[in-house]
Amino acid sequence: MDIIINHLSKKFGEKQVLKDFSLRIKEGTSLTIMAPSGKGKTTLLKILAGLETADEGYIEGLENKKISIVFQEDRLCPALNALDNIRLVCGKEMKGNQIYQELETVGLKGNEKYPIRDLSGGMKRRIAIVRALIVPYDILLLDEPFSGLDIENKRKMINYIKEKNKTRPMILVTHDPWEAETMENQTIFL
């Protein structure tokens, strides 16, 4: 089923961040949204995720869909290690060896049991991405997921996302034209 965004508008006080925005996202489409800061990209993702409500307009096609999201901030629990942060979203039924394997794939072998607060920003980003992709979901939302990563780790994480998210819809928000091009998504500008 397509995702249909109909005449979405959102203000924060007097600041209009989305105005009469409409878009049809065909089923299975991967999309990159680009715009300058403050133009409503993050707000749009939050509305799609149900974390924010639009002032006007509506969205169709998300009913009964599981949404996974990578926020601009890592939103990890600093006292917990990588394994426990991931287990928070996938539950105990997921085997530890599967989590270890995912962390190894993104270059974090040997860092699984350190508290998040002791890891670098780039390590935290990779854990946040693994956490979003390891759970069952129907739609993936990515809000500046590669910030803080060097070029080698950006490439690694882009390949990881493309491999894990082959057929499900994805919406990536970025300022970086290289990221948009490398993800090979359809790109729109807000």
Q: Is the pLDDT of residue 142 over 80?
A: yes
- Please report the pLDDT score of residue 175 as a whole number: 87
Tell me the average pLDDT across 78-84.
Answer: 92
* Number of CB atoms found within 10 A of residue 162's CB: 15
Report how far residue 71's alpha carbon sits from residue 66's, in angstroms, rounded to the nearest whole number.
Answer: 16
pTM to 2 decimals?
0.92
Tell me the average pLDDT across 163-181.
Answer: 91
- Please report the pLDDT score of residue 108 as a whole number: 92
- Please report the pLDDT score of residue 166 as a whole number: 83
pLDDT (tens digit, 9 = 90+) per residue, 30-80?
Answer: 999 998 888 899 999 999 999 999 999 999 999 999 999 999 998 999 999
- Please report the pLDDT score of residue 36 as a whole number: 84
Pairing mode of beta strands 170-173, 30-34: parallel
Tell me the average pLDDT across 100-107.
Answer: 93
Fold of the CATH domain 3-189: Rossmann fold (3.40.50)
Amino acid sitting at position 86: I
CA angle 30, 33, 34 (to 5 degrees): 145
Q: Is the pLDDT of residue 190 over 90?
A: no
Tokens of 159: 């390949």
- Please report the pLDDT score of residue 160 as a whole number: 95
Tell me the average pLDDT across 114-118.
Answer: 94
Q: Is-contact 103 112, C-beta < 8 A?
A: yes
